[in-house]
Structure formats: C-alpha cells, structure tokens
Amino acid sequence: MLKIDTFQEQLQQAVQLKQSDEKLENLRKIFSELISSPLNDNEKLNIYNDINLILTSLFEQKNGSFEEKEQIKNLMGIMMNNLEVQEFMFRIADEESNQDISYVANQIQEVRSLSINYKASKIGREFITQKAEQLQQQPSQNQILNLNVNVCEDQQIEFYDNNNYSQQSKEEQSLIQSPPSKIYHEIAQDELSELINRSKYEFDQTKIDQAYVYAKLAQDKFQSSFTYQQHAEYVDQIIVQYNYLIENVKELDSDGWLFDGMSNGISVKYKFPENTSTASMLMETKIPVNAIRVLALVNEMDLNYLWVPFCKRTYVNKVLNRACKVCTSEMYFPLIPDRECVFVGEGYDRLQVNGTITLLSRSVDGDKEFLEKNGIFIPEKSKFVRMYIKYYIFEITPIDKDSCSIRACTNVNPKISMVPNSVLAYIGRKFAHILISKIVNYAKTFEKSPFYPVYQEHIEFYNWLEEKLKTHLKY
C-alpha cells in the first residue's frame, strides 16, 4: 500500500533527474498513482501541491525550451482538470463550509506564512480565493469579500493552464505575455523566501532530504537572480551535506563485503577499498530495545569511552545545532603511540525516506574552511597521531516501539605504517565485534547504565525524538 512517505521519496528522486522529459514522465506517473492511492484528501492535496511546485519551477527555468514548457502546461492542465482532484478539493472545501467569513479572511491573510499544509501552497491560495469568490455572491458580505479578493489579487496567484487563462485579469495576462515587471520580481522574491524558509524548517527538524528538495528547487529556479545570492551559501551547504550523506550511506548496501562471522546475533563484514590502505567494517544486528535509547548511547559523546574500544576520553569542541557536534576522541593503543580524531557528527531524521535515523561522522581537523566558518580552533600539531575517519555511519531502523535494527559502517585510517592490510583488517574486525556488542549490552540494560542519568538531563531532546518515532510507527 502506497503511503505519503513513498510519494515524498519518489518526488525527491524525480527532482534529482537531469533530463526534463524524465522528470515530467516521473511526475506524471506519481500523479497517476496518487489519484488511485488510499491516501486521505489532505495527504493527496499535499503531494499534489508538491508536484505543482516542481512543475512551476521547471516551467520558469530560463533554459527550458518551448516544447518543454508546452509539455509542462499540458501536465498541469491534466492535473487541474482531473475529476478526482476536483472532488477531493471540494470535499476539503465542504469541511470548511461552516466557518464564518471572517475566518476565511484570516486564512487568506495567512497564506504567505510558513506552513506544510495546503493553505501555504499555490493551489491552496487559489482554492481559498475561489472559496471567497463563491461566498462573495452573498449580498450581506460583499464588503468583506471585496477586501479578500483584493488581498488575493495583490498576491498575483498564477497558473499556467490554458483552460484557466481566459479567466485571468488583463493585468495577469499582461504579466505572462510581457517581460517580467517589478511586481513579478516581488512575487519571485516571495516564492524564493518561501522555499528557503521551508528548507530551513525541515533542516531544523533534521530532515535533510526534505531540506535538500526545497533548497534545490530554490537554486534551480532563482540561481540567476540577485536576491538568491543572500541565500546561496545556505543552499550550497545543504546540497553538499545531502550529497555527502547519500554518497556514504551507499556503502551500507554496496557490494564486495567479506563475511567475518556471527556472534550473539551480530554480523560483521569487511572489505578493502581500492587505492587505499584502509579496511571498511560493516556491523548489523537487531535488538529488543527502543530506538531512542540506542540513539542516546551514540549521542552522549562524553560517555562513549564506555563502548568504543581503546577510547579513554571524548569531549565536545562545539555544539553546532541540536543534532550536530564537533568532538575530539583520544585513543590509547598498546605498543603504538596514542591516537586522536577530531570529527563532526550529524544526525538526520530519514524516517519518511527510508524508515531510519542516520548518524554520520567524518574527520574535520584538516578542513580549515569548515573550522573557520564555525569558529572552531584545532591546533595543527598535537601530541597525538591524528587518525582519519573517512566516514562512520550509524543507521537505526525502528521496528516497533520496543525494538530496532542497527547497521554501522566505518572506514578509518589509523595512520599505522608498515602494517599489512590483512593485520589491519583483523584488528578492525575485533574492534567492530567489541564495539557493537557493548552498544547492544548497554542498550539492553539502559536504565541501570551510566547513560540513563545523562539521558534524563537531556530528556527534552529525547522526548522530541520520541515524538518523531511515535508519528512514524503510529503508537
């Protein structure tokens, strides 16, 4: 059964396609599946609005051909005139029919505010306008409704649909037929702000995939505009973070893994990446523990010496946001000089995308741009040998409220010279078995562990995560 999460994932994949005709074909298929899906009316309208937003962005790209624009207009016309679309729009309207006219006026005033529901979308604004125009026929309310219509006209709601073109005002027709006016640029700026605000909202919710979709739409549609430049750094940051995440999580499902063994339900695999002197490790298991408890073990960096082999101390250099920290870990190995690693760890809510909460870490001591941008000072020289973490991925998949599966994948260069890869792989496999076993043991005895008091200190954060889990699993 198709869920709203599935459609959102399909839209994200469609946006990333390079060819315009491929995007349109995918959007056409998504729309067809949406109409016949068991989603409720509001869910359908949310996805419909997202499709319409993508189509509008494609239509207004300057490098689009006349044929492409015609195809986009045709698809938008098909969508707008679809009987099922009209029916579920009317059903939603009927639910609001008991609201008084002053509330409708307030709705129209609020359509520019940040919102993830249909009232903040182009279709939503048009629909509210149509509702107001229907109510305008009531003589006793003409004065209020005239004000409402003026508000809507000021917003210049535009649809590139031949069937609606004849109903547009002369001023709106002029906007389409002539070069962009000052009013058009004001509209464009508002749409850009809406995309950026939505992206920032999703990023604040740790939803990098959704933040990327809105940021990429803003870039594709407004990159050449002057106003875009004030948002360019943010957009670039989101795109880089998203691409880095996607590139590395591919390792979890990549080929070439060699099976090392299974112990207490924990599987460990390894492989040697080409053109490197490193070994990658992959650990997998399922445990009867709430996913948020497992997440707390990994998140509380000050205590990770309890489960990371050879780790004697970890401290936080700086908290960048509630789901991102820069940390330093000190490692004491027998027979060789002490090691340390300076890394950034980020957490992402991908529950709507693939049902996971994903943590991703990488070394940053050599990333001067990142350190300077975030005001972090790391001495170039250290009494420790600095290890290099290419990636450390920790993926938690909630199964139900009391169980989850874990996949962890890492590629680390410990900076040990003159040691064969086979020896490094052997040490790495032992390291992996110990690491994941300790996580599982602490998770199973969480309330009696040293992690529980710290968990209670940060209970507001973990309750926030728990609400995400409840929404996803519906418990």
Identify whether residues 322 and 212 lie together within a single domain. Answer: no
Q: Would residue 308 count as lying in a domain?
A: yes
12 falls within a domain: yes
Residue 251 lies in a domain: no
The answer to whether position 50 is within a domain reads yes
Final residue belonging to a domain, choices 226, 246, 266: 246
Same domain, residue pair 44 and 149: yes
Average model confidence (pLDDT) for the chain? Answer: 78
384 belongs to a structural domain: yes
**Domain assignment of residue 114, yes or no:** yes
> How many independent structural domains does the chain possess?
2
Q: What is the 3-state secondary structure (H, E, C) of the chain?
A: CCCHHHHHHHHHHHHHCCCHHHHHHHHHHHHHHHHCCCCCHHHHHHHHHHHHHHHHHHHCCCCCCHHHHHHHHHHHHHHHHCHHHHHHHHHHHHHCCCCCHHHHHHHHHCCCCCCCCHHHCHHHHHHHHHHHHHHCCCHHHHHHHHHHHHHHHHCCCCCCCHHHHCCCCHHHHHHHHCCCCHHHHHHHHHHHHHHHHHHHHHHHCCCHHHHHHHHHHHHHHHCCCCCCHHHHHHHHHHHHHHHHHHHHHHHHHCCCCEEEEEECCEEEEEECCCCCCCEEEEEEEEECCCHHHHHHHHHCHHHHHHCCCCEEEEEEEEEEECCEEEEEEEECCCCCCCEEEEEEEEEEEEHHHHCEEEEEEEECCCCHHHHHHCCCCCCCCCCCEECEEEEEEEEEEEEECCEEEEEEEEEEECCCCCCCHHHHHHHHHHHHHHHHHHHHHHHHCHHHCCHHHHHHHCHHHHHHHHHHHHHHHCC
Mean pLDDT of 229-237: 94
Residues 225 and 273 in one domain: no
Q: What is the pTM of this model?
A: 0.62
Together in a domain, 134 and 175: yes
- Of 184, 216, 246, the position where a domain reaches its end is 246
**Mean of the pLDDT values across residues 387-410?**
94
Whether 298 and 200 share a structural domain: no
Percent of the chain residues past pLDDT 90, beyond the cut: 40
- Whether residue 120 is found in the same domain as residue 202: yes
The domain in which residue 132 lies consists of 4-246
Same domain (yes/no): 311, 390? yes
Q: Residue 260 belongs to a domain with what CATH number?
A: 3.30.530.20
Same domain, residue pair 297 and 342? yes
Same-domain pairing of 215 and 286? no
| 216 plus 89 within the same structural domain | yes
Tell me whether residue 172 is in a domain.
yes
**For the residues 163-170, what does the mean pLDDT come to?**
38
> Does one domain contain both 92 and 226?
yes
In a domain, 22, yes or no: yes
Shared-domain flag, residues 195 and 275:
no
Domain boundary among 246, 268, 283: 246
423-466 tens-digit pLDDT: 777 777 787 788 888 988 898 999 999 999 999 999 999 999 99
The pLDDT, as a whole number, for residue 121 is 42
Choose the weakest-confidence range: 172-176, 202-206, 232-236: 172-176
What is residue 52's predicted lDDT score, i.e. its pLDDT?
A: 80
